[in-house]
A and B are shown apart, each in its own frame.
Chain A
Amino acid sequence: MNRTRTLLGALGTLVLLACLPLLALPVPGVLPGYTYEPGSLQLLALCWLTAALALSYHLLFGLAGLMSFGHALYFAAGTYGLAIVLDRTDVPLLPAAALVLVGGIALAFVVGAVSLRVTGISFAMVTLAFAQAGNVLVRRDQGDLTGGEEGLALATAGVPDALVGVVNTRNLYWLALAVLVLVYLVVLWIERSRAGHMAAAVRENEVRVRIIGGRPYLTKLVVFVLAASLATVVGMAYLLLQSGASPATSTADFTLTLLVMVVLGGVGSRWGAVVGAVLYTVLDQRLAELAHSDAVAGLPAVLRIPLSEPMFLLGTCFILVVIFLPGGLAGAAERLAARRRPVPEGAAA
């Protein structure tokens, strides 16, 4: 009964979200205009893609307990890979995307196989180093391939017309929503599968898994490659949405923001990752606007400087959440729900 209700609620939300481009709802303070306007749709689509990316990170960090600082590498592999293939060849969008996905999987396999030889903090640093190498490659612009600091614009020749231009933002919005749903379902499926249970067991106690005959290394590698390939898929959709690849998405800071989102929402919670990502994206946009507003410009320097740096405010929020709100937003919501729920008889300890 309860489960059916949750499912119906999720479906209803999804239908509502899918209809947003056809409606004229104002959401003051969150969206720049009515929901059907390209500006609002662009922001919402960005939210969905970021949420999908955060979900792929949740798979690594929340499920398998792998703190990777190099997740941006696979996202950038998606954006840059697809941009380069479309730029340099005449391959149409879908075969090109398949090609890039295979490339992303191969990359993740090699990097994962090396970096999973170490655990914990060392693993985090090694993934960071590999992502940094990717970032250096992208910035260096070997053979005019990546466009260096400028980034690479989307070559639209191979892309269907329905996905190009501001007029078609609503199609891109639907694409982004579809990617989010797809990634969510895949993550759900992995979590419920044998591999997912194994990964959770490895997270809790690796030695014990080895003793009962499991293979932690292989399990972690599978989860690592799956998370990376999801990130590659999201990266490709991101390229279409932003009509370009930018080197900022390959930096270590980009991975760190993913970590911030997942922790804000609550580590280990799928909904937490989605909510954290959407909240982060909206706050980032809104705070940037606040920074340039007249109200802030009139303040004395002590207040003006911190308020005009969105990242400072987000970073501070993040620190406060880590210290005072363990479990993030999902954890807080759970505690609230538990307080409201009457204690079942006999269960009170």
Chain B
Amino acid sequence: MSTLILLLATGLGLGGLYFLVASGLSLIYGLMGVLNFAHGSFLTLGAFVGLAAGNLVGAGTWGGLLLGLVVGALTGAAAATATELGLIRPLYDRHIEQVLVTVGLSLATVALFEGIWGPNPRNVTRPGWLASTTDVLGARVPNTAFLNVLAGAVVLGGIVAFLRYTRYGLIIRAGVENRAMVTALGIDVRRAFTLVFAVGGAAAGLGGVLATQSLNYVSPHMGASLLIFAFIVTVIGGMGSLTGAAVASVVVAVLQQLANFYLNNTGDLIVVLLLALVLLVRPSGLLGRPA
């Protein structure tokens, strides 16, 4: 019983991380039809810069972590905005080329990060509470899981509120629904593109700093490994659906944890099987609109 609770809790925590990456991917795809391969690089950059900022205050302190999270999110947002303005916008509406540019960017930036920070993972110092566990119904749940779930929930709530109650949110929702119509009504939808990229980048940067706390290391490749699962989550949830991404993040992560424990470390394979199954039954994903 306690094992099951532990697996569910760590699964939820991992799901929170997946969601932080997948939410941006899903929003960007929904609005612009661009699959952003460079999203993992936003995450890695956010993690490195955020940690460096945190270390200025003090490695392993709450103040440092808090500053790191803020700086990480801002770095991710800045990198994403620069990418949108400099690389994506000039290729307006040429989706394949836009994807190719993000592919090139991801290859180039990972190499650059390796050059700057070295190819090997570096250990990080965590606040004492995060490195320990809490007893929940007999299971010793790592405290990072709570933090990840909290962050995932806050970001989900924040993005949903932003989309529902602000004018820009309205434009973005309308743009996902029918971009041509929004443009025809005289609204500059391109500003919404930049905004969506910034929001997605911020979530990824935040996820990067959080991932360093859960994994206890930071490496130039952490973005790429999380990105692949975020892709899977996005497809299972339905491309462009935020709620779908949230549900799929939890399902995928929990399933992965369970399979890793009960089925001889086959979590990654089970997830791919789940993806195949979902596509066979519902090609547009769990909550995606039928194509």
Contact = CB atoms under 8 A, between A and B. Distances in A.
A67 B99 CA distance: 10
Chain A: number of interface residues, binned into ranges: 35 or more
Contacts of A119: 291
Looking at B91, B97, B231, B265, which has the most chain A CB atoms within 10 Å of its CB? B231
A189 interface: no
Contact of A305 (B37, B99, B110, B112): B112
Interface stretch (A5-13, A110-118, A222-230): A110-118
Mostly, the A contact residues are helix
Contacts of B106: 256, 315
Given A132-B268, A326-B97, A253 B107 contact: yes
Interface stretch (A22-30, A32-40, A123-131, A154-162): A123-131
Given A115-B279, A133-B268, A323-B87, A124 B108 contact: no
A19 to B, nearest CB: 36
B235 interface: yes
A126 B90 contact: no
Contacts of A194: none
Given A117-B283, A316-B104, A319-B104, A129 B228 contact: yes
Contacts of A260: 103-104, 107
B209 interface: no
A230 to B, nearest CB: 22
Interface in B14-50: 29, 33, 35, 37
Interface in B183-237: 224, 228, 231-232, 234-235
Contacts of B234: 125
Contacts, number: 122
B279 A312 contact: no
A122 B235 contact: yes
Nearest to A67: B96
Interface stretch (B3-11, B67-75, B161-169, B269-277): B269-277
A174 interface: no
Nearest to B117: A305
Given A125-B231, A306-B115, A114 B101 contact: no
B131 interface: no
Contacts of A312: 108-109, 111-112, 115
B170 interface: no
Given A132-B268, A308-B115, A315 B107 contact: yes
A109 interface: no
Nearest to B273: A133
Nearest to B25: A125
A322 interface: yes
A252 B228 CA distance: 9
A128 B272 CA distance: 10
B273 to A, nearest CB: 8
Contacts of B105: 315, 319
B100 interface: yes
Contacts of B137: none
Looking at A129, A323, A326, which has the most chain B CB atoms within 10 Å of its CB? A129
Given A117-B279, A305-B116, A132 B111 contact: no
A163 interface: no
A126 B112 contact: no
B239 A306 contact: no
5 closest A-B pairs by CB: A315-B108, A311-B111, A315-B107, A318-B104, A312-B111
Interface of B: 29, 33, 35, 37, 87, 90-91, 95-97, 99-101, 103-112, 114-116, 224, 228, 231-232, 234-235, 239, 265, 268-269, 271-272, 275-276, 279-280, 283, 291
Given A125-B231, A306-B112, A312-B115, 15 more contacts: A114-B279, A115-B279, A121-B33, A124-B99, A125-B35, A125-B235, A133-B272, A136-B269, A252-B224, A252-B228, A260-B107, A263-B100, A318-B103, A319-B87, A319-B105
